[in-house]
């Protein structure tokens, strides 16, 4: 149990890092940095940092001996990482129009999107528990986004970008859990980050070449790369092997309340009882969806 506790703490820390990101992005926007500057700096610093960390990994043997298969797997990792780039672009664009609370709630739609995508791609019929969980998530989303009880100022463009980010994030989760599992997670993250960087570069560089504030590399770029790219894979690598997948998914949902609390304390975003009921419903649905995994899989 001591090992499980340590694993849970590491996974919670990794998920919490992701929860901090949106507030940092908002603070960078407050200093007049653009979405393009924020996204490009995070991914390029993150890729360089992961490449350096990868040099320190113990390389007793190659995970894939055949060079052609190894190169093919690396290519698949890079391609799967392109969805990571789209997630960053869409999510950070959404943050220009909506609050941190609404943004993280929209990103959590990846939970039910994953169920739908799994059904379409793998022909897996959702169980009753998953269907109930999806309904609870949708109800929780309406409450957490405060769509019923107050006049909404959230821009439809921002909500649209938020849903696109959730869809891209769903694809990222699905591909990252299936491609290149023979490699160390840091190595996999490095190649996926390269794919994301290529997409982000293609989108942002035409704008950045006309004028980029290089001060982004002094503070916010490194901070976003640290909490969004470097620390999470290190924490998850240390924690996930000590716990099972179901418990990992439940603990990872801490990202949602962390993001909401950061928005409240550092950005003075308004909160109310309906929002917290919605957040609790979303968290409860994640627990419900993964409860059987926790019970069946050994810790």
Q: What is the pLDDT confidence band of residue 175, given thresholds at 50, 70 and 90?
A: confident
Q: Identify the residue with better confidence: 123 or 279.
A: 279
Q: How many angstroms separate the CA atoms of 189 and 56, rounded? A: 15
Arithmetic mean of pLDDT over the chain: 88
pLDDT at 39: 96
Taking alpha carbons only, the member of 105, 80, 84, 104 closest to residue 39 is 84
Domain range for 244 is 2-57+64-296
pLDDT at 108 over 60: yes
Q: How many angstroms separate the CA atoms of 172 and 92, rounded? A: 16
Task: Compute φ and ψ for 73, nearest 5 degrees.
Answer: -65, -40
Find out whether 103 and 95 touch, Cβ atoms under 8 Å: yes
pLDDT at 299 over 80: no
SS3 of the chain: CHHHHHHHHHHHHHHHHHHHHHHHHHHHHHCCCCHHHHHHHHHHHHHHHHHHHHHCCCCCCCCCCCHHHHHHHHHHHHHHHHHHHHHHHHHHHHCCCCCHHHHHHHHCCHHHHHHHHHHHHHCCCCCHHHHHHHHHHHHHHHHHCCCCCCCCCCCHHHHHHHHHHHHHHHHHHHHHCCCCCCCCHHHHHHHHHHHHHHHHHHHHHHHHCCCCCHHHHCCHHHHHHHHHHHHHHHHHHHHHHHCCHHHHHHHHCCHHHHHHHHHHHHHCCCCCHHHHHHHHHHHHHHHHHHHHHHHHCCC
pLDDT digits (tens, 9 = 90+) for 196-213: 999 999 999 999 999 899
pLDDT at 150: 57
What would the mean pLDDT of 12-30 be, rounded to a whole number? 94
**Is the pTM for the entire model greater than 0.85?**
yes
Spell 177-214 as b/e; 16+ CB within 10 A means b.
eebbeebbbbbbbbbbbbbbbbbbbebbeeebeeebee
Spell 43-56 as b/e; 16+ CB within 10 A means b.
bbbbbebbeebbee
Task: Give the list of residues 6+ apart from residue 198 with CB closer than 8 angstroms, or none.
Answer: 78, 82, 85
pLDDT digits (tens, 9 = 90+) for 209-262: 998 999 999 999 999 999 999 999 889 878 877 887 678 888 888 999 999 999
Q: Identify the residue with better confidence: 124 or 73.
A: 73
pLDDT at 68: 86
Q: How many domains does the chain have?
A: 1
pLDDT at 120: 86
pLDDT at 29: 96
């Amino acid at each position: 149990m001591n090992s499980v506790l340590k694993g849970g703490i590491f996974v919670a820390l990794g998920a919490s890092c992701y929860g901090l990101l949106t507030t940092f992005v908002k603070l960078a926007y407050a200093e007049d940095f653009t979405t393009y500057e924020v996204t490009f700096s995070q991914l390029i610093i993150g890729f360089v940092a992961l490449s350096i960390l990868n040099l320190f990994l113990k390389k007793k043997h190659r995970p894939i001996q055949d060079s052609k298969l190894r190169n093919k797997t690396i290519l698949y990792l890079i391609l799967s990482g392109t969805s990571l780039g789209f997630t960053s672009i869409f999510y950070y664009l959404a943050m220009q129009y909506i609050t941190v609370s609404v943004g993280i709630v929209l990103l959590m739609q990846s939970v039910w999107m994953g169920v739908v995508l799994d059904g379409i791609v793998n022909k897996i019929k959702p169980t009753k528990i998953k269907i109930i969980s999806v309904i609870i998530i949708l109800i929780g989303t309406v409450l957490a986004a405060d769509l019923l009880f107050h006049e909404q100022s959230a821009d439809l463009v921002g909500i649209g970008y938020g849903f696109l980010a959730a869809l891209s994030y769903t694809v990222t989760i699905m591909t990252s859990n299936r491609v290149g599992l023979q490699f160390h997670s840091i190595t996999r993250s490095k190649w996926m980050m390269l794919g994301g960087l290529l997409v982000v570069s293609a989108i942002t560089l035409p704008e950045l070449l006309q004028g980029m504030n290089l001060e982004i590399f002094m503070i916010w770029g490194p901070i976003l790369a640290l909490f969004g790219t470097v620390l999470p894979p290190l924490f998850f690598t240390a924690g996930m092997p000590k716990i099972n997948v179901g418990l990992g998914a439940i603990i990872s949902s801490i990202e949602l309340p962390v993001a909401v609390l950061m928005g409240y304390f550092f950005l003075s975003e308004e909160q109310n009882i309906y929002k917290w009921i919605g957040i609790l419903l979303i968290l409860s649905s994640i627990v419900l969806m993964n409860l059987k995994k926790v019970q069946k899989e050994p810790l």
